[in-house]
Amino acid sequence: MKKIFPLIIFVFMILSPAFPSFELAASPNDSNVYTIVWLSDTQYYSEKYPHIFRNQMDWIVQNRDNWNIQYVVHTGDIVNRAEKKQQWVQADRMFRKLEQVSIPYGVLAGNHDLVKGKSYKMFHQYFGKDRFFTKPYYGGGYRNNRGHYDLITLGHQHFLFLYIGWHVDKDSISWMNEVLKRHSDRTAIIAVHKYLHKNGKRTLVGNRIFRNIVKKNPNVKIVLSGHYDDSELLKTKIDDDHDGTPDRIVYELLADYQGAPEGGEGFLRLLHYFPSRSKFYVRAYSPYSNKHFFFSPKKEEFWIE
């Protein structure tokens, strides 16, 4: 199925008016297109709608070959009420579906994943370092997986997925900078819970992360975040060598569907990586409702250089 993936993308682009018309050609050089699945704010699925969570995970497993799914990202709020054990049990069951077929994934703690907004106790119990440290893609962790990073290769491109949970402080910033410098040869994608607001601008913590981490590390190209139910994209040009000409564009993304019916209507994000073009195509999809966007194509479908 991997060999026909570009044809699937090609047909979908033609049939879907939401896809940009300037990138329709599917060439032989695109024989390998890789997909990353991005989940965010699944809290209501863990609390009230486990059948939707199950549908998402089953779709990922069943379509692993069809869409060449290589990795799954979760940007926090796995559960809604961290003190409720049953919600963690539900989430645990869902992620074990990925583990059973060896699909790599990474998670972080949002504010709802902390007991009384403070304690990582339940997160550590279910998604602490012990769950991940034997995985071949797991690079290392910070304070029992309060932060961690994964090393993923798509084609010939080496990626660093760097996660940090709720309460970003000086120590966690120092740890993140150390990891980014140690892996400066990898394209870095940062996953946090709260970064962009619904107005498309950075939050206070988002600005702190941008100033102290993103600007200082030229290998950072993408930031993924949730927390606010919306879809936003901020593109920021950065002049790394201070010569007056921008050297890179950082794509800062917000995706959160908790405001949709049934706690999100099963929407997730798909990031399709075209190695021959060094581009991602980002789009939304719900396997539960079989819909291709919730907010609008303009907000949810775009290219990343």
- pLDDT for 114-172, tens place per residue? 999 999 999 999 999 999 999 999 999 999 999 999 999 999 999 999 999 999 999 99
CATH of the domain at 107: 3.60.21.10
Q: In what order do the strands lie in the sheet with 302-304?
A: 105-106, 69-74, 34-39, 268-274, 279-285, 302-304
**pTM as predicted:** 0.91
Contact between residue 232 and residue 299 where contact means Cβ atoms under 8 Å apart: yes
pLDDT at 13: 44
Domain count, the chain: 1
Per DSSP, the residues of 165-195 read: -SS--HHHHHHHHHHHHHTTTSEEEEE-SS-
pLDDT at 25: 31
Structural domain harbouring 227: 2-304
Low-confidence ranges of the chain (pLDDT < 50): 1-30
